[in-house]
Structure 1
Amino acid sequence: MIFIPLPFVVAFLLLLLLGAVLRSKENSTGNWAFLTLIGVCALQSVVVGLRWGYHVEELRYLLPVVASCLPPLVLASFRSLIHSDDAVVSRTRWLHALPPFGIVVLVLLAPVLIDAALIAMFVGYALAVLDLGRSGPDALDEARFDSAVAAHRALVIAAAALCLSALFDLAVLLDFEWSKGANVALMVSNANLLGLFFIGLMAIVASRARARPVAVQGAPSNPFETPQDREVFDHINRLLADQKLSRDENLTLSRLARRAGVPARQISGAVNRLAGKNVSQYINDFRIAEACRLLRETDMSVTAAMFESGFQTKSNFNREFRRVTSLSPASWRERNRPLRFT
């Protein structure tokens, strides 16, 4: 029987998921970091399978270099869901090439330090990723509102997966100290792949939260030089109610801020303090209210009502619908449709 190492199975699954993302209408050129991250996860799985499944010893030099590419890509991926100054990003992007370069230097000059360096790198980047989302889903202001919560959860899980990988690297280091590496093959070729798979899976979840690019229009002048929470809140409500802005499936906090002429942080603060929830939940409340109206007053299907109200995926729609109404869309319609007499 042909032996197929588990890493090859993981790589195959990741490549299937990558293909699904590439074929999806939700894919855009802005997803390059997520797509690269998934590809690197698949590559590392293949390298692990060849190194520990078929004992291709030469790959022991390549494996730590590929592994060192993952943390910077995780950070870059989730940072792409946050609006930033492109000039600043372009000036600092090259810094994230230093970790792989540093590992190459250690491979050549001090291999004994590689494991410790990878552990520090994975934990450090995990903390940096968590710092990106420290203010909750509103921090991901380039994520669509219907997917911001899922993207934030993916961020947290991806950071945990980086820590998990660091934990397994530590276990490998200790195994070499205590039992001369007797259990390394099992840990690296099987257990460590759990972290890889989670990173790839979370990259796919978060990549789908990114809004499709639209033509950038000139931002209106900011009418609120020193806005108060109530003024900002009322202005946002007028945009959502009068201009039906909540139905825009690609609406993000960053785009809402441009339309309102108000900094995203002020919008987030006003909604947090006056509505007691994050902006994505607040926008989705408008969408669920519209979906409920459609389900109650029309014969539109649940799926059609989902798209019409601004949602793009059934999972996000059902989750938010239950959060607001405590019922599924079908159950809510059954209970709230007016009686019709013939």
Structure 2
Amino acid sequence: MISIPLPFVVSLFLITILVQMIRRAEGQLRESRFFLLLIGAYALQSVLIGIRWGYDTRAIMPAQAVLATVIPPLAWLSFRSLAAEGNGPSWLLISAQFLPACLVTLLLIVWPDPVGPVITLVFLGYGAALVWMARLGPDSLVASRLDGAVRSYRSLQVTAFAILGSAVTDVVISYDFASTGGRYSASIIAAVNMISLLVLGAAASVTSANTASDPSETADEPAEVALIATEEDSRIAANVDSLMRSRELYRDVDLNLAKIARRLHLPARQVSNAINRIHGMSVSQYVNNFRVMAACLLLESTDDPVTRIVFDAGFQTKSNFNREFLRVTGQSPTAWRQMHRQPPSNVARLERKAAS
């Protein structure tokens, strides 16, 4: 019987995710390009791991080392593209992220000894950069669809700690070589890399699905965060509220924080801070409150199926719709419809609650 290393199976799974992402992206491949490259790098790395440890092919190690220094920068660029209000990272910034791979390639040629520590430092540095990016919460991913901003943020956190975990694993392996001659290293590397690649692949896929962009958006510096609401915050929050009610902007399934900020000609961070301080919630929760209110009206006044109401109200997935509906109303959509189909509507009360 032919033995197929498990990393090859992981690679096949990641390639399947990659194909699904490409089909799902359709005409928006540019917006998802970094996530697509990231998944491709994960799949290739899994193949290299299978060749190295499944068939004890040491000749593959240099390619594995170089690719290892490409993955963290790609992960950072992927989430950086969601945290930028403009057209994403510049080509100069993108090019700079491949300097670690160039350095490792040069070291492999002239002085291989420090390659291991350099790779560990790359993972530590980019892992810390991703943690720093996540410090501002879901609203930091201004180009992510609001319907999936929380999931994108969770994926950012998972990616950050997985990359940091890879750096810690490298330290553990170094200790194993120093103390036991590397007795357990093969098992540690195979297990950790397979788990990490699977988790990271799933995280990148989820986040890519929530990518939405507008090429006319312009970048601004983030505003300083104050402890209390200001008159300016009240004015901005009132303008956002007016925009939601008069234009029903919340019905756009591709709506993101950057689009809202562009309508107001303000930096996204300033809009986010105003909503946070005035309403005590994230922008995604604020917008989803309007969506839930619209869904309540549709549930009461029409016989439309819930699956249609999900999209009419501005949600992209039924799972997120159900979760947000329960958060706002304390009931499932079906229970709400049964309770409020005939009696007078409770929507006005819920609207006041959503805006408070």
What is the TM-score of this pair, normalised by structure 1? 0.91
* 2:263 counterpart (256, 259, 269): 259
Taking the TM superposition and a 5 Å limit, the aligned residue runs for 1:142-157 are 142-157=143-158
Aligned to 1:134: 135
Q: Are residues 87 and 318 of structure 1, via their aligned partners in 2, closer, same or farther at CA, if it must alter by over 3 Å?
A: closer
Distance 1:218 1:146 in 2: 22
- CA, structure 1 residues 175+88, in 2 after alignment: closer, same or farther (shift >3 Å)? closer
Q: Distance in 2 between matches of 1:85 and 1:101?
A: 28
Partner of 2:4: 4
Aligned mates of 1:90, 1:19 — CA distance in 2: 26
| 2:11–2:46 Cα contact (<8 Å) kept | yes
% identical equivalent positions? 39
Rounded to whole Å, the distance in 2 between the matches of 1:186 and 1:327 is 48
Q: Which ranges in structure 1 are unaligned for 5 or more consecutive residues? A: 220-225
Distance 2:110 2:249 in 1: 58
TM-fit CA distance, 1:229: 1.2
The residue number in structure 1 matching 2:105 is: 104
Partner residue of 2:226?
none
Q: Distance in 1 between matches of 2:200 and 2:285?
A: 25
CA contact (8 A) 1:115 1:170 kept: no
Shift in CA distance, 217/207, structure 1 to aligned 2, threshold 3 Å: closer
C-alpha distance in 2, partners of 1:334/1:227?
A: 42
Aligned position for 1:16:
16
Paired with 1:173 and 1:59, the residues of 2 have a C-alpha distance of 19
Aligned match of 2:275 in 271, 275, 278? 271
How far apart are 1:257 and its partner, in Å? 0.8
- Tell me the CA shift for residue 14 of structure 1: 0.6
Counterpart position of 1:241: 245
Equivalent residues in 2 for 1:141-220, closer than 5 Å: 141-211=142-212, 213=213, 216=216
What is the CA deviation profile of residues 13-49 of structure 1, one whole-angstrom value per residue up to 9, with x for unaligned ones?
Answer: 1111111111115753210000000000000000000
Are 1:6 and 1:190, in contact at CA under 8 Å, matched by a contact in 2? no
Shift of 1:330: 2.3
Q: Which position in structure 2 is the counterpart of 1:95?
A: 96
CA contact (8 A) 2:145 2:211 kept: yes
Listed one character per residue, the Cα deviations across residues 288-322 of structure 1 (whole Å, up to 9, x for unaligned) are: 11111111221111110110011111222222222
Q: CA deviation at 1:214?
A: 5.2
Matched, 1:43 2:44: yes
Matched-pair contact (CA < 8 Å) for 1:7–1:190: no
Q: Distance in 2 between matches of 1:104 and 1:185?
A: 23
8 Å CA contact retained: 1:168, 1:192: no
Given candidates 216, 227, 232, the residue that maps to 1:228 is: 232
Aligned to 2:80: 79
Structure 2 CA distance for partners of 1:172 and 1:319, relative to 1, 3 Å: same
Give the SS at the match of 1:249.
coil
Q: Which residue number in structure 2 is paired with residue 62 of structure 1? A: 63
The one of 320, 323, 327 equivalent to 2:327 is: 323
The 3-state SS of whatever aligns with 2:146 is: coil
CA contact (8 A) 1:161 1:196 kept: no
- In the alignment, the residues of structure 2 paired with residue 104 and residue 271 of structure 1 have an alpha-carbon distance, to the nearest angstrom, of 47
Measured at CA, do residues 11 and 55 of structure 1 come closer, stay the same or move farther in structure 2, by a change above 3 Å?
A: same
Which segment is superposed worse, 24-33 or 135-144? 24-33
Distance verdict in 2 for CA 1:88–1:302, change over 3 Å: closer
Q: Which runs of 5+ in 2 are unaligned?
A: 220-229, 345-356
Deviation larger for 233-242 or 91-100: 91-100
Name the CA distance, whole Å, in 2 between partners of 1:124 and 1:43: 23
Count of aligned pairs between the two proteins: 333
Q: Map Cα deviations across residues 272-303 of structure 1 (whole Å, 9 max, x no partner).
A: 11100111110111111111111122111111
Give me the whole-angstrom Cα distance separating, in 2, the residues matched to 1:276 and 1:99: 41
Residue 262 of structure 1 and its aligned partner are, at CA, apart by 2.3
Instruction: Find runs of 4+ consecutive structure 1 residues off by over 4 angstroms.
Output: 84-88
Q: Secondary structure at the match of 2:82?
A: coil
CA distance in 1, matches of 2:218, 2:155: 32
Q: Cα distance 1:126–1:46, how it changes in 2: closer, same or farther (>3 A)?
A: same
Q: 2:210, 2:217 → 1: CA distance?
A: 22
Look up the match of 2:288. Answer: 284
Q: Secondary structure at the match of 2:136?
A: coil
Q: What letter corresponds to residue 78 of structure 2 in structure 1?
A: S
Classify the secondary structure of the residue corresponding to 1:37: helix
Letter of the 2:12 partner, please give it. F
Change (3 A) 1:85 1:247: closer
* Kept after mapping to 1: 8 A contact 2:214/2:259: no
Matching residue of 1:298: 302
- In structure 2, how many angstroms separate the alpha carbons of the residues matched to 1:82 and 1:195? 23
Q: CA deviation at 1:174?
A: 1.2
SS at match of 1:30: coil
